[in-house]
Chain A
Amino acid sequence: MTTIRVDAAEVAELGVALAETGADLLMMGDPSAERWALGPGEAGPAVDELLGGWRRVRLALGGSLTDLGDAAVDAGALYLDTEAGVSRSLLGGSW
């Protein structure tokens, strides 16, 4: 038998957090902007590499988190809708 136990609001909140994190990853700016602060030494290029050398994974991860966030918000809304519909059919509410 299928058991469903879900906090719809929390799932939606999680979705927003995932989407925000995904967008932050996608929006990470140009790492060379940080270089001026480090001076002309070796640390500047190393920071460039550290922040910019995982672009492909960053974009993929950002996309995945955005995707999952959208799905979670969707699910939260649908769970709430379903619950409201079932309540209405059982209790005759006025939704």
Chain B
Amino acid sequence: MSGLPPLPGNPVAVRLLADRLDATAQRLGALGGVLARLRDGATWDGPAGAAFGARLDEVAPVLDAVGARLGGSATPLRMLADAMGEAQVVVSAAVLDLDEAEHAYAVLEDRVVALIGAGRSEHDPDVLLLRHLQLGQVEAQQVARARHAAAAERFREADRRCATVLRSLSVDGIADALPYRVLVGVSTAGHDLGMLAPVAAVAPELQPVFTVADKAAVVTDAALLVAYHEGDAGQLATAAGLSALGALGGVLRTGATLGAQRTAAGAISTARLTARERVALGVVHEARARRDALRASFQVPPPRGTASSLIGGPSPRSLARGGWTGGFTPAAVAGGFRVGARTAAHRARAAALRRVDKVFLDDWRLATANGPQAQRMYAAGTTLEVAATKTLKPGTGRPDGGRGVTPKAATGPMEGDRSVTLEPGPGHPEGGGNLR
């Protein structure tokens, strides 16, 4: 092995990073365009649209700044990737050349030693020839070293240029202030060290370090909470404007189960998510569900004149609104026609109850796998959904999550009565079947 180091780094990964940043910047730019159209009233012209547009005015400049920061980094990163790839080719070749030259030199030296051992002198023509060939290998080594050094220097220069551009992009109106950076840094380091606390079991002398680190993390977390409003799930959700209890409950319940997967051995957590991330993902999940329900409401056939409505069953529209079809298959409706609507309804209710119970326990297991914080979030979401269901009459106010399941127990997700009543809720685009 030669003494020349390889050039670390991965140009393919750097290009991917540049592509990702570019795509994100373009996406933010496109979103900014849509928001601009909205502000112009093309999509939403009315008092509420104007109020929405006013709030967008605060967001748009920040989106532009983020787009400039991320998008501006793509070109220097791609140039760095090119320089890295080129330098790595040269460096790799130089390392190989040096290895070969050193090996050839060693072989020639062995032959010289053999000749000397056989009684030849240093002035023997054969020995002189070998020494001459060795000089050639030494020159090859010098050339390889020089090429290595030149390639490494070219890369260092490209690295410096890229860093200069990136640093200039980082000096903008959205950069974090120094006190905030210090708090975040201490919090992160404290949590990282705190996670190593079990090591103290085998290295007791480190216990004070872990204890101090964990306390530092807690203190800085508190500072972040108080000074910068980075707090727990409830506060985050409130800050996110999720004022409607039912929606908030659904968001929390969904968020609590994200990042965990069902396996044959039970539920396991596969992603470490913060409370804030869980709330955000829960919002996206709920928003998609409601958007899909809206789409579905435009796609169902008219309620009159269908086989279902002719025999007195529920209209397809009301079923599609809630995405709820359990118990109202054609066969079930025909059966209901024979045995009576009341019996069919009881059967449907019992089936729904079993389904809700299974889904609830399943979700609770996922939340449990995600840890105590997710458990608390799930319990809070369940409680809020129950409160919303009891507060809002069907067909009034904001939909409370008819798309979800809401155990009756308000005291805790694993306690009390989990019985449900099936209550088709007219008036909600997606709330055709409220289960409570």
Residues of A within 8 A of B196 (CB): none
Residues of B within 8 A of A3 (CB): 45-46
Residues of B within 8 A of A80 (CB): 294, 297, 429
Report the count of interface residues on A (CB-CB < 8 A): 71
Instruction: Give the residue among B41, B287, B428 with the most A Cβ atoms within 10 A.
Output: B287
Contact A39 B34 (CB under 8 A): no
Contact A56 B176 (CB under 8 A): yes
Q: How far is the CB of B14 from chain A (nearest CB, A)?
A: 5
Residues of A within 8 A of B294 (CB): 8-9, 12, 76-77, 80
Tell me the nearest residue of chain B to A73, going by C-beta. Answer: B287
The 0/1 profile, CB within 8 Å of A marked 1, for residues 291-324 of chain B is 1011101100001100000000001011000000
Q: Is the CB of A86 closer than 8 A to any CB of chain B? A: no
Bound CA–CA A18/B44 (angstroms)? 15
Contact A46 B8 (CB under 8 A): no
Q: Is the CB of A6 closer than 8 A to any CB of chain B? A: yes
Residues of A within 8 A of B28 (CB): 21
Residues of B within 8 A of A25 (CB): 66
Q: Is the CB of B236 closer than 8 A to any CB of chain A? A: yes
Q: Is the CB of B244 closer than 8 A to any CB of chain A? A: yes
Q: How far is the CB of B27 from chain A (nearest CB, A)?
A: 7
The 0/1 profile, CB within 8 Å of A marked 1, for residues 228-252 of chain B is 1010000010011110100100000
Q: Is the CB of B13 closer than 8 A to any CB of chain A? A: yes
| Given A59-B276, A71-B241: A14 in contact with B426 (beta carbons within 8 A) | no
Q: Is the CB of A64 closer than 8 A to any CB of chain B? A: yes
Q: Is the CB of B110 closer than 8 A to any CB of chain A? A: no
Q: How far is the CB of B118 from chain A (nearest CB, A)?
A: 50
Contact B52 A23 (CB under 8 A): no
Contact A49 B34 (CB under 8 A): no
| Given A50-B73, A57-B62, A77-B430: A63 in contact with B8 (beta carbons within 8 A) | no
Instruction: Give the residue among B55, B163, B295 with the most A Cβ atoms within 10 A.
Output: B163
Residues of B within 8 A of A9 (CB): 294-295, 298
Residues of A within 8 A of B413 (CB): none
Partner of B166, one of A26, A47, A59, A84: A47
The 0/1 profile, CB within 8 Å of B marked 1, for residues 40-54 of chain A is 111101110110011
Residues of A within 8 A of B56 (CB): 68
Q: Considering the complex, which residues of chain A in the window 55-87 have a beta carbon less than 8 Å from any beta carbon of chain B?
A: 55-59, 61-78, 80-81, 84-85
Q: Considering the complex, which residues of chain A in the window 8-31 have a beta carbon less than 8 Å from any beta carbon of chain B?
A: 8-27
Partner of A7, one of B44, B55, B242, B315: B44
Contact B291 A11 (CB under 8 A): no
| Given A54-B66, A54-B176, A81-B427: A37 in contact with B162 (beta carbons within 8 A) | no
Bound CA–CA A61/B173 (angstroms)? 13
Tell me the nearest residue of chain B to A64, going by C-beta. Answer: B59
Residues of B within 8 A of A61 (CB): 59, 62-63, 66
| Given A43-B159, A70-B240: A55 in contact with B176 (beta carbons within 8 A) | yes
Tell me the nearest residue of chain A to B15, going by C-beta. Answer: A37
Bound CA–CA A75/B51 (angstroms)? 12
Residues of B within 8 A of A15 (CB): 287, 291
Q: Is the CB of B398 closer than 8 A to any CB of chain A? A: yes
Contact B45 A6 (CB under 8 A): yes
Contact B429 A81 (CB under 8 A): yes
Partner of A70, one of B63, B180, B241, B304: B241
Residues of A within 8 A of B181 (CB): 53
Bound CA–CA A2/B279 (angstroms)? 36
Beyond A39-B7, A94-B304, 7 extra complex contacts between A and B, CB < 8 Å:
A4-B48, A18-B31, A37-B9, A63-B239, A66-B284, A70-B286, A77-B428
Residues of A in contact with B (beta carbons under 8 Å apart):
2-27, 34, 36-43, 45-47, 49-50, 53-59, 61-78, 80-81, 84-85, 94-95
A-B residue pairs in contact (CB < 8 Å), sample of 6 = A4-B46, A4-B47, A26-B277, A37-B14, A54-B69, A64-B55
